[in-house]
Amino acid sequence: MKNDNQNIPFLKTKIGLVISFLVSIFLLLGLTGFLQKLNVSNKNKKQEQSKLDFYQSERDKIEDRLVEVDSEEGKDRNVRENYNLAKEGEGLVVIVEETDDSTESSSDKKKGFLDFFRNIFHKRD
């Protein structure tokens, strides 16, 4: 005689159902963790892509500037701006700033209250 318990498949028993339920819960938890990590990595990818685009545009600007500097006109302009050189027949104009007289006016401001009254009543020519 066969036992009736032997003919029942494992997944239809109580222990089989509990084990399959626990396995499915672990799989769902693993899937949610994977989706969270995927979301974070996509955000990081977008940030790094924007940095890459920025640095590529900066690189293009620098390469354009290098091409400009390597030309004869660029070299000439660079020498004129940085070393104050001029071509034959050109002159150089130097602009000198005026001296600052604020030191004298600050000493006048430091005078006291009595000096203020003396200046009011002082005879002026």
Q: pLDDT per residue over 18-68, tens digit each?
A: 999 999 999 999 999 999 999 999 999 999 999 999 999 999 999 999 998
Query: pLDDT by residue (tens digit) across 87-122?
Result: 777 776 778 888 766 555 555 556 777 777 777 777
Asked whether the beta carbons of 109 and 101 are under 8 A apart, the reply is: no
Helices (runs of H) and strands (runs of E) counted in the chain: 5, 0
- Specify the higher pLDDT residue, 121 or 14: 14
pLDDT in tens, 15-28: 888 999 999 999 99
Task: Note the pLDDT of residue 103.
Answer: 54
